Structure 1
Amino acid sequence: MKKSLRIVAALAAVGVVGGLAFAFVPTQITGPSTQLPDDWKPAEGQGKYAMYASDCMACHTADGGKSFAGGRAIASPMGTIWSTNITPDPETGIGNWTLDQFRAALQDGIRADGAHLYPAMPYENYRKLTEEDVRALYDYFMHEVEPVQNKVEETKLSFPFNMRFGIRAWNWLALTHDAGFTPATGKTEIEERGQYLVEGPAHCAACHSPRNALMAQDGVSASDANFLAGGVVGGWNAPSLRGPNSAAQKWDAADMAAYLATGRNIHSTANGEMGLVVQHSLQHLTDQDNLAIAAFLKGLDGAPADLPESFAAKESLAMPALDADEAGKETEKMLTEAAPDMALGPRLYLDNCAACHFVSGKGAPEIFPELAGNHLVTGSEVEPLISVILNGAQVPSTAKRPMHLVMQGYADRMNDDEVAELASFLRKGWGNDAAAVTAADVAKVREKQVH
């Protein structure tokens, strides 16, 4: 018995020592993926462009706040994470950080003080940044961004997520890929550029790849089976960007590039988190880079990308409304006939929606999105559709499409039962095949948004 107790005590002691070592032994940080000359300097505008490609503004700028001064609330399954001040202010920002410390934050998720960042910071993806872009970003934030003294609210998650050293174990399991970018074999130069942007700075997998049981991205590289196979972010579906039913395969390269650069094309409009990505990041990329992303996404499943010379030209266009496709003919006919005994859902659609989205469900090109085959309408998560019906939606103004589009909300016009009937009709009409929405689903969204 005493021998058993001694063994248990010894194992416990080993566990304590191991735990202390795990918590307090310094972590190894990633060095440069390539060696650049000591006197290397980024080209004019290179750092700012890398910032736009990396979408730093959207997360690190609070609504109504100064650029990059932090304080934006980021929802996560663990609780609210407050984004940090990344201006060069020496007291509340990153003004005292060295290049090595900056790189460690980007690629290892480790702050200058040695604490681990929560993976709301997409360092899983930023590990793929080239050393040129890392150094260009550092130069930009240190020399071109205005210092802002702004002490942001401290992130306070509940136990055990407040124990930041536990992220170290998560990193051992999640950061299995080396730092730096490795192009896929057999790709064209423009596809390689698209792959770099998608895998690295644009960190598309952070939303569009599923998460595993540890909440790590299940697919960070083009060679991973679940890369960009679809995810859920804050109750919103981030649709799959591969497979025969994905937009990347159904749309041509010009449509995809237009969506990235303007938040709209003849099929859809960008809202929610994707609207912010377009507003703060993708609209600032060159046409060539947005076409490169489109080419890479088309080529993921082996489809050829017929790249146009230009897209979304800034000129007046007359784009006629599209007819319903074969799957939508029956719904179009029913709405056109408008029989007196028509069910409540389609009747509500005629009264409130048909003027913009039409009986065809095809919408108005580049203004009102298609409802037929729309992933927001048919997704597994019903909150986004309900939220749009209740509160409306917006599409940001961009350089190529400066018109700011706004859809009104119907929270005061429809009760929960009516919203549920309308949403259920949208999820079944024009060949859509998604589960019905209940009044309880609507009440939950309405109550959540009141608070």
Structure 2
Amino acid sequence: MRNFSHRLCRVLVLFAGCMAAASSYAADGPTETAAVIKRGEYVAKASDCAACHTTAQGKPFAGGLPLVSPLGTIYSTNITPSNEFGIGRYTEEQFSEAIRHGIRADGANLYPAMPYTSYSILTDDDVHALYTYFRFGVTAVDVRAPDTKLPFPMNIRASLKVWNLLFLNKNTYQTDPHQSAEWNRGRYLVQGAAHCSVCHTPRGFMMQEEAGLELSGGQVGTWYAPNITSDTASGIGSWTREELVEYLRTGRLRGKAQAAGDMGEAVEHSSQYLSAADVDAIATYVKGIPPIHDSRDSAPRFTAGKMSSELATLRGTDGIRSDNDAHPTGAELFQGNCASCHSAQGQGSKDGYYPSLFHNSATGSVNANNLIATILYGVDRTTSKGQAYMPGFGGKPTDSTALSDEEIALAGNYVLVHYGRADIPITAQDVAEVRRGGPTSPLLALSRIGIAAGVVIVLLILAFVIVRKRKAAH
């Protein structure tokens, strides 16, 4: 009888809580609630929630997307209002704790792949709008996302409490009275909802964003997010404000850059939907970011290379090779796989759909990983201006037509020598690393060594104490 009373009490409390939440929104009236939901949908797009929480063919926000990190694969969670598998039972306070501080309703810590370190500055109004949208404007999907199972000791989520103490800023956004309203809005979006620094800032030993190097370029996973400070050689200081706006809207800037990978997703799911005022605000803030220079850059990455071709050296040769013949050259791989779209001289198509390979951010960068990733995985983004598509040549392990690591390195080096940074060679090991998901972190191995050393020290202390006690007994 006591157990029955206890269960009945829990049911009544839960029912009362749900009724209270429902009545609070009902009190606003349908018009006011609809406006908040619409606002929340906009904030969700500005925050690029769909890119991580929706799989390619999956239902919106049902989670399950594998996010490759230097410490292992993290699966995004279901954030639909499903009571069983999503956030259907979250209170607004619990939702805010997850968004801003990375703490789930059950008290467990979220991994910082969820960019709560940026969302921590979101205003109360924006968090309220997000909660209203995800609770009442999104269709519940009763599907469990795969569990994240990082290797020991990263699977101990409690360790993130220490990480948060060291690196999480819990202060909400404060405007700078010395700057314009547009600049302040841009900073709020860049540092908060758009979480640009999560990708574009290099990471330290503890996988934290490096202080003092904001937006100077970083890599977490397959793609490299380049320097977007105002430095004219290393960053985008040579871009006009209008060019930056065009890039955020379309994902491309002819003769300079094309968005692929994570940035392609950010344009497809987020920045193309922002209001003109917000995109202008972002451009205003980004253009004013202090320059950070890389000494390896003497000129903008958008100006490297020139039109070139080795097609004449291949004419009249036998293009058919047997298994016993020598491996193809970079020139042969380029002509066989790339020239049909990017042209034999690398200038791309006249309409710009297939970009030029010279004066191109991917080939002129001091980091060649984006060129490798583009060849491996291709490009696929859709905006209001149409689809940008390039097939990937990495294939699957069982795909006999896929290019090997050695062949991709040969093709990539041909492109760099003729159209980009000839001083940045690509090796088969570089390709293999990108194919695996990008550079790994030494933190995993070192943390295990640290734990093992700690155990040894504790055992030695215990042994010392035991020996002392035995000697004292005699």
- What's the TM-score bracket when you normalise by the shorter of the two chains? 0.7 to 0.9
The residue number in structure 2 matching 1:214 is 206
Residue 48 (str. 1) matches residue 41 (str. 2): yes
Q: After TM superposition, give the deviation of residue 132 of structure 1 in Å.
A: 1.1
Is residue 272 of structure 1 aligned with residue 261 of structure 2?
A: yes
Alignment partners' CA distance in 2, 1:414 and 1:103 = 46
Structure 2: tracts of 5 or more residues without a match: 1-26, 292-301, 318-327, 396-400, 439-474
- Amino acid across the alignment from 2:86: G
Aligned-partner Cα distance in 1 for 2:76–2:424: 36
Work out whether residues 222 and 434 of structure 2, in 8 Å CA contact, stay in contact via their aligned partners in 1. no
Following TM superposition, by how much is the alpha carbon of 1:215 offset from its aligned partner in structure 2, in angstroms? 0.5
Distance 2:176 2:343 in 1: 43
Are 1:233 and 2:220 an aligned pair?
Answer: yes
Q: What CA distance in whole angstroms lies between the structure 1 residues aligned with 2:85 and 2:144? A: 5
Match of 1:335 in 2: 309
- 1:254 is paired with a residue whose SS is helix
TM alignment of 1:5-84, pairs within 5 A: 43=36, 45-84=38-77
| Match 1:255 to one of 222, 240, 243 | 243
User: What is the CA RMSD across the aligned residues, in angstroms?
Assistant: 3.2
State how many pairs are aligned.
Answer: 380
Cα shift readout 1:401-441 (whole Å, capped 9, x = no counterpart)? 02443346386375655432321122233452442223454
Distance 1:89 1:407, change over 3 A: closer
Structure 1 position 292 matched with structure 2 position 277: no
Shift of the alpha carbon at 1:95?
1.1
1:189 is the counterpart of 2:181:
yes
CA deviation vs aligned residue, 1:30-59 (integer Å, no higher than 9, x gap): xxxxxxxx9796646211100000111111
Q: What SS does structure 1 have at the residue aligned with 2:237?
A: helix
SS of aligned partner of 1:214: coil
> Displacement of 1:288 after TM fit?
2.2
TM-score (norm 2): 0.71
Bigger drift between 138-147 and 350-359 goes to 350-359
Higher relative contact order (CA 8 A, sep 6+): 2
* Identical residues among aligned pairs (%): 39
State the one-letter code of the partner of 1:288.
Answer: A
Q: Decide which of 83, 86, 101 is 2:79's aligned counterpart.
A: 86
Q: Is the aligned partner of 1:409 residue 2:409?
A: no
Deviation at 1:390, TM superposition (A): 4.3
Does the 8 A contact of 1:54 with 1:281 survive in 2? yes
Verify the 8 A CA contact 1:108 1:123 in the aligned structure 2.
yes
- When residues 402 and 431 of structure 1 are mapped into structure 2, their CA distance, relative to the original with a 3 A threshold, is closer
Higher mean displacement: 113-122 or 288-297: 288-297
Q: Tell me which of 342, 348, 357 is aligned to 1:357.
A: 342
Structure 1 residues 113 and 372: CA distance shift in structure 2, 3 A:
same
Structure whose CA Rg is larger: 2
* 3-state SS of paired residue (1:80): strand
Q: Which one-letter code corresponds to 1:45 in the other structure? A: K
- Distance of 2:62 and 2:402 partners within structure 1: 39
Counterpart Cα distance in 2 of 1:426 and 1:109: 43
Q: Give how far 1:67 is off.
A: 0.9
Q: Give, in whole Å, the separation in 2 of the partners of 1:446 and 1:214.
A: 24
Alignment correspondent of 2:320? none
Opposite residue 256 of structure 1, the aligned amino acid is L
Q: CA deviation at 1:350?
A: 4.9
2:414 match: 425
Give the residue type in structure 2 aligned to 1:171.
N
Task: Report whether the alignment pairs 1:155 with 2:148.
Answer: yes
Residues 240 and 448 (structure 1 numbering): CA distance in 2 closer, same or farther, change over 3 Å?
A: closer
Q: Aligned AA for 1:52?
A: K
Equivalent pair of 1:389/1:419 in contact (CA under 8 Å): yes
CA distance in 2, matches of 1:74, 1:273: 11
CA–CA separation in structure 2 for the residues paired with 1:191 and 1:360: 42
| Residue of structure 2 in register with 1:367 after alignment | 353
Cα distance in 2 between the residues matched to 1:444 and 1:209: 20
Distance (whole Å) between structure 2 residues aligned to residue 413 and residue 155 of structure 1: 30
How far has the Cα of 1:379 moved from its partner? 4.6
Matched, 1:203 2:187: no
Q: Structure 1 residues 416 and 172 mapped into 2: Cα distance closer, same or farther (>3 Å)?
A: closer
Q: 1:188 to 1:246 in 2, by over 3 A?
A: farther
Q: CA deviation at 1:327?
A: 5.9
**Cα distance in structure 1, aligned partners of 2:372 and 2:312:** 24
Structure 1 residue 396, shift from structure 2 partner: 1.6
Distance 1:362 1:158 in 2: 46
Q: CA deviation at 1:354?
A: 4.2
Q: Which secondary structure does the structure 1 equivalent of 2:175 belong to? A: coil
TM-aligned CA distance change 1:359 to 1:254, over 3 Å: farther
CA–CA distance in 2 between the matches of 1:95 and 1:138? 10
Q: Which structure shows the higher helix fraction? A: 2
TM-score, scaled relative to structure 1: 0.75
Shift of the 279–68 alpha-carbon distance from structure 1 to 2, 3 Å rule, reads same
